[in-house]
């Protein structure tokens, strides 16, 4: 195995982007074919395929029907929660999408309007997204595990004309009614939404508000199918909110043209998937993995995708393997945390007994750092290449991978592989100088980013600059830290900012802190991520209480846990909270979260030279020991240094 071919393609994509990406663009059916490939923009991200036009829904659905794939299954929907499954062919998908798009038009939605989609993993979610693309409306899918106030803040930012939702989601713990959450969100938000469309599921009937809420079935019955409209390559296809360091989520904007080109290219290059193959990404449509590799990627290339409602270990740890066999899945994508959950429940792989996995060519893992143990366990059990690959909501498709469709490279556990051609990845020091191999620093990508990556942040050009572009002029900062080895393999070690990764879900410490501080008893709060064997990280809240109050500490903690669940959502998995007398800070008042994070992971820390009161750190250590997160006997103070945490 060699990576010379990848190196050559990296050079080609970097030195001749026009030739490189216009070749990739040939996989897309354009209405106005691109004349220009890339237009740079001073201090900005630039535009891919300016002046070209297309329709993403046409490329993902209609053209496959025209090419004779109408009878091929486009989407298998499998629910381990309701023990049911259904299949929809490309022809059926085209008919449903065209009709639902007609329903949206009838309710006043047009090109450029936003539509928020708050749905579980059902086929109708895919139909709603594709219907938006068909009429040039911009969808913004909000993950169903988020609470009403998170939904409300996204509605206020995206200002949609309409919201599409379902009556409920179904989790192992039972039915989760979505409609009351939607109603609450619509009351909480400033922006007024005139219409909603509700899919009633048999497990729970949502109450309809007359005049505002329309039944999915009725909308479909009343609608006329509509054709695909022409949109500019640079028109937004969707907004997807992700967590930054503050409590306010960032709306990542994706275009139509660059997105279609990059995703179609990545399906073959990274996942080795072509028309007629079956691809399964066991994620949720509310995350970028769901957008790119449950919906758009597989459908753009005419593959069959699988939409899964359920967990990796319910009803048992063999469920993934049985689904792969039953639907003849060729490539499977999940998060390392899901593999850890399976390994924990079935370390010997008994769930694989009697399952024929010959169809499966590779397992792909992303969403968080993949520890070598998990990767090696999966290799042993599945006996196929296990490919760790690294990317983020902002990039929309893999930055580093082992591109099996171009040339397989050696798998090095702990590394997501080489930079994918199109991305020029560097590891920089604080001054922006490239660091030597084996030296950890900030991972940055030299501009321009390839097609399919973010084109901006919705309503927030300043945050695009301050969050990504101004730190190292000429580069996009990923927010991750890591290093290269001698062979050019990248090792991604974690975030440099205050973003948490809980079971592959990206969450902001700032948002947790906002919620904790809104409790009447709390004076101050800090949230850090502590290591967890299953979920990678868990949030831990350290709170300082207002003085002079008679309080039942256990009751306060229970209230704090409940309010995070209520305001952020169950997915935050917030269960660890402790009271401290004061938070360790620098003399200028910056909370030393990094130092506390190290303490909580059992590392000895150097007293930051700028610390205001060293005793505060000692008190945090005692609190962590009381919670059993560290042992009290463990020495926690290393040699003094000038590190500021
Ligand atoms: N709607 C409503 N509630 C949801 C939800 C949704 N779409 N998704 C999760 N939740 C709830 C769960 O029911 C659970 O609630 P509980 O506290 O009442 O049990 C809580 O949010 C946490 O859910 P989850 O993160 O799924 O954790 P878990 O403990 O139930 O399961 C794993 C652990 C590892 C099995 C699970 O996190 C998993 O499968 N992770 C894969 C993650 C993934 O695909 N990430 C996407 C990036 S690729
Ligand atoms: P999200 O935008 O929610 O997909 O989260 C992206 C973040 O998850 C990245 O910036 C990384 O911090 C982390 N991440 C995703 N994939 C990997 C990986 N393969 N290895 C290490 N970290 C990863």
Here the CATH number for the domain that contains residue 571 is 3.30.300.30
Of residues 267, 264, 293, the one with CA closest to residue 25: 264
Rounded distance between C-alpha atoms, residue 286 and residue 631, angstroms: 39
| Confidence (pLDDT) at 644 | 39
Q: Let me know if residue 522 belongs to a domain.
A: yes
Closest ligand by atom to 495 CA: 2
Angle (CA) 419-420-424 rounded to 5° is 55
Shared domain for 607 and 546, answered yes or no, is: no
Shared domain for 570 and 639, answered yes or no, is: no
Neighbours of 398 (CB within 10 A): 28
Q: Let me know if residue 324 belongs to a domain.
A: no
Shared domain for 535 and 573, answered yes or no, is: yes
Q: Let me know if residue 538 belongs to a domain.
A: yes
Neighbours of 394 (CB within 10 A): 23
Ligand 1 pocket residue status of 169, Cβ below 6 Å: yes
Taking the centre of ligand 2 as the mean of its atom positions, its distance from the CA of residue 287, in whole angstroms, is: 12
Rounded distance between C-alpha atoms, residue 99 and residue 86, angstroms: 19
Please, is 33 exposed, middle or buried when counting C-beta atoms within 10 Å of its C-beta (0-12, 13-18, 19+)?
Answer: middle
Shared domain for 606 and 644, answered yes or no, is: yes
**Helix %, strand %, coil % of the chain (to 5):** 30, 25, 40
- Decide if 48 contacts 261 (C-beta within 8 A): yes
Helices (H), 329-456: 336-345, 372-382
- Alpha-carbon dihedral sign for residues 606, 609, 614, 617: negative
- Decide if 509 contacts 245 (C-beta within 8 A): yes
Q: Tokens standing for 96?
A: 């449903």
What is the extent of the structural domain holding 571?
499-579
Shared domain for 541 and 594, answered yes or no, is: no
Q: Let me know if residue 642 belongs to a domain.
A: yes
Taking the centre of ligand 1 as the mean of its atom positions, its distance from the CA of residue 577, in whole angstroms, is: 20
| Confidence (pLDDT) at 42 | 85
| Confidence (pLDDT) at 142 | 98
How far does Cα 210 stand from its chain's mean position?
35
Residue 501 CA: nearest ligand 2 atom is 8
Rounded distance between C-alpha atoms, residue 573 and residue 561, angstroms: 9
Residue 505 CA: nearest ligand 2 atom is 3
Taking the centre of ligand 1 as the mean of its atom positions, its distance from the CA of residue 286, in whole angstroms, is: 12
Measure Cα distances from 629 to 273, 526, 536, 538, 589 in Å: 44, 17, 15, 12, 26
Pairing, β 162-166 against β 114-118:
parallel
Shared domain for 507 and 550, answered yes or no, is: yes
Measure Cα distances from 537 to 203, 558, 594, 622, 636 in Å: 33, 21, 14, 21, 21
Residue 394 CA: nearest ligand 2 atom is 2
Closest ligand by atom to 178 CA: 1
Neighbours of 326 (CB within 10 A): 14
Ligand 1 pocket residue status of 119, Cβ below 6 Å: no
Shared domain for 575 and 599, answered yes or no, is: no
Taking the centre of ligand 1 as the mean of its atom positions, its distance from the CA of residue 343, in whole angstroms, is: 17
> How long, in residues, is the chain?
645
Residue 479 CA: nearest ligand 2 atom is 10
Q: Let me know if residue 605 belongs to a domain.
A: yes
Measure Cα distances from 493 to 390, 417, 418, 465, 477 in Å: 11, 13, 15, 24, 15
Q: Tokens standing for 507?
A: 């969450």
Ligand 1 pocket residue status of 103, Cβ below 6 Å: no
Measure Cα distances from 179 to 79, 120, 136, 173, 573 in Å: 20, 12, 26, 18, 22
Rounded distance between C-alpha atoms, residue 469 and residue 344, angstroms: 41
Beta-carbon-side half-sphere exposure of residue 635 (alpha carbons within 13 Å) = 5
Measure Cα distances from 417 to 144, 387, 399, 411, 496 in Å: 32, 8, 9, 7, 20
Q: Let me know if residue 346 belongs to a domain.
A: no
The number of distinct structural domains making up the chain is 2
Question: Which residues form the pocket of ligand 2, taking CB atoms under 6 Å from any ligand atom?
Answer: 242, 288, 366-370, 388-390, 392-393, 416, 478-480, 492, 495, 501, 506
| Confidence (pLDDT) at 217 | 97
Shared domain for 574 and 595, answered yes or no, is: no
Look at residues 532, 549, 579 and tell me which one is the last residue of a structural domain.
579
| Confidence (pLDDT) at 550 | 87
- Decide if 585 contacts 526 (C-beta within 8 A): no
Q: At how many degrees (to 10) do helices 123-135 and 90-106 cross?
A: 60
Please, is 412 exposed, middle or buried when counting C-beta atoms within 10 Å of its C-beta (0-12, 13-18, 19+)?
Answer: middle
Residue nearest to atom 44 of ligand 1 (CA): 283
Look at residues 579, 599, 623 and tell me which one is the last residue of a structural domain.
579
Cis preceding-peptide flag for 448 (omega within 30 of 0) = yes
Shared domain for 504 and 553, answered yes or no, is: yes
Shared domain for 526 and 564, answered yes or no, is: yes
- Decide if 131 contacts 119 (C-beta within 8 A): no
Of residues 395, 332, 334, the one with CA closest to residue 362: 332
Q: What is the pTM of this model?
A: 0.95
| Confidence (pLDDT) at 642 | 42
Angle (CA) 132-134-137 rounded to 5° is 40
| Confidence (pLDDT) at 636 | 83
Taking the centre of ligand 1 as the mean of its atom positions, its distance from the CA of residue 309, in whole angstroms, is: 11
Rounded distance between C-alpha atoms, residue 381 and residue 318, angstroms: 12
pLDDT beneath 70: ranges in the chain: 1-2, 639-645
Look at residues 579, 601, 617 and tell me which one is the last residue of a structural domain.
579
| Confidence (pLDDT) at 259 | 98
Shared domain for 508 and 567, answered yes or no, is: yes
The phi and psi torsions of 78 (rounded to 5 degrees) equal -125, 125
How far does Cα 175 stand from its chain's mean position?
24
Q: Let me know if residue 131 belongs to a domain.
A: no
Torsion of CA 477, 479, 480, 481, to 10 degrees: 80
Q: Let me know if residue 611 belongs to a domain.
A: yes
Query: pLDDT tens digit string along 196-218?
Result: 999 999 999 999 999 999 999 99
| Confidence (pLDDT) at 607 | 86
Residue 365 CA: nearest ligand 2 atom is 19
């Amino acid at each position: 195995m060699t990576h010379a071919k990848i190196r050559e393609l990296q050079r080609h994509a970097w030195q001749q982007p026009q030739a490189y990406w216009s070749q990739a663009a040939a996989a897309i059916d354009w209405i106005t074919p691109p004349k220009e490939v890339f237009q740079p923009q001073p201090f900005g991200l630039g535009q891919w395929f300016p002046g070209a036009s297309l329709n993403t829904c046409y490329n993902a659905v209609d053209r496959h029907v025209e090419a004779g794939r109408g009878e091929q299954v486009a989407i298998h929907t499998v629910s381990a929660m309701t023990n049911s499954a259904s299949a929809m062919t490309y022809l059926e998908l085209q008919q449903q999408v065209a009709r639902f798009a007609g329903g949206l038009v009838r309710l006043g939605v047009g090109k450029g309007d936003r539509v928020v989609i708050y749905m579980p993993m059902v086929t109708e979610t895919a139909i709603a997204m594709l219907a938006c693309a068909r009429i040039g409306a911009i969808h913004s899918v909000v993950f169903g595990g988020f609470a009403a106030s998170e939904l409300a803040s996204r509605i206020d930012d995206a200002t949609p004309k309409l919201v599409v939702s379902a009556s409920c989601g179904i989790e192992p713990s039972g039915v989760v009614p979505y409609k009351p959450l939607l109603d609450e969100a619509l009351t909480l938000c400033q922006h007024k939404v005139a219409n909603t469309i509700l899919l009633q599921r048999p497990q729970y009937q949502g109450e309809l508000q007359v005049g505002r809420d329309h039944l999915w079935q009725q909308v479909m019955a009343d609608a006329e199918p509509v054709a695909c409209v022409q949109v500019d390559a640079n028109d937004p296809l969707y907004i997807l909110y992700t967590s930054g360091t503050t409590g306010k989520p960032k709306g990542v904007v994706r275009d139509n043209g660059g997105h279609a080109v990059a995703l179609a290219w990545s399906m073959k290059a990274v996942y080795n998937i072509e028309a007629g193959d079956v691809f399964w990404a066991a994620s949720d449509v509310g995350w970028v993995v769901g957008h790119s590799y449950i919906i758009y990627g597989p459908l753009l290339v005419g593959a069959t995708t699988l939409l899964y409602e359920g967990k990796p270990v319910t009803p048992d740890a063999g469920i993934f393997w049985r689904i792969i066999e039953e639907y003849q899945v060729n490539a499977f994508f999940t998060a390392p945390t899901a593999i850890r959950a399976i390994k924990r429940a079935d370390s010997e792989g008994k769930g694989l007994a009697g399952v024929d996995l010959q169809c499966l060519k590779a397992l792909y893992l992303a969403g968080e750092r993949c520890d070598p143990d998990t990767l090696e366990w999966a290799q042993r059990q599945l006996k196929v290449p296990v490919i760790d690959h690294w990317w983020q909501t902002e990039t929309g498709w893999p930055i580093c991978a082992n591109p099996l469709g171009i040339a397989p490279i050696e798998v090095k556990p702990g590394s997501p592989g080489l930079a994918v051609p199109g991305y020029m990845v560097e590891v920089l020091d604080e001054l922006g100088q490239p660091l030597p191999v084996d030296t950890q620093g900030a991972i940055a990508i030299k501009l321009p980013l390839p097609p399919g990556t973010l084109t901006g942040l919705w309503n927030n050009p300043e945050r695009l600059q301050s969050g990504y572009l101004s730190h190292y002029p000429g580069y996009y900062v990923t927010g991750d830290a890591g290093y290269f080895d001698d062979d050019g393999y990248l090792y991604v070690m974690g975030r440099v900012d205050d973003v948490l990764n809980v079971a592959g879900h990206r969450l902001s410490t700032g948002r947790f802190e906002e919620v904790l501080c809104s409790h009447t008893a709390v004076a101050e709060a800090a949230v850090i991520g502590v290591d967890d064997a299953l979920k990678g990280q868990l949030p831990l809240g350290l709170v300082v209480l207002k003085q002079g109050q008679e309080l039942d500490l256990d009751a306060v903690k229970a209230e704090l846990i409940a309010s995070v669940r209520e305001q952020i959502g169950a997915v935050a998995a917030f269960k660890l909270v402790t009271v401290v007398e004061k938070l360790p800070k620098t003399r200028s008042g910056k909370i030393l979260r990094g130092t506390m994070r190290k303490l909580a992971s059992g590392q000895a820390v150097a007293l930051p030279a700028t610390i205001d009161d060293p005793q505060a750190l000692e008190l945090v250590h005692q609190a962590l020991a009381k919670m059993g997160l560290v042992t009290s006997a463990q020495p926690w103070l290393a040699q003094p240094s000038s590190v500021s945490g």
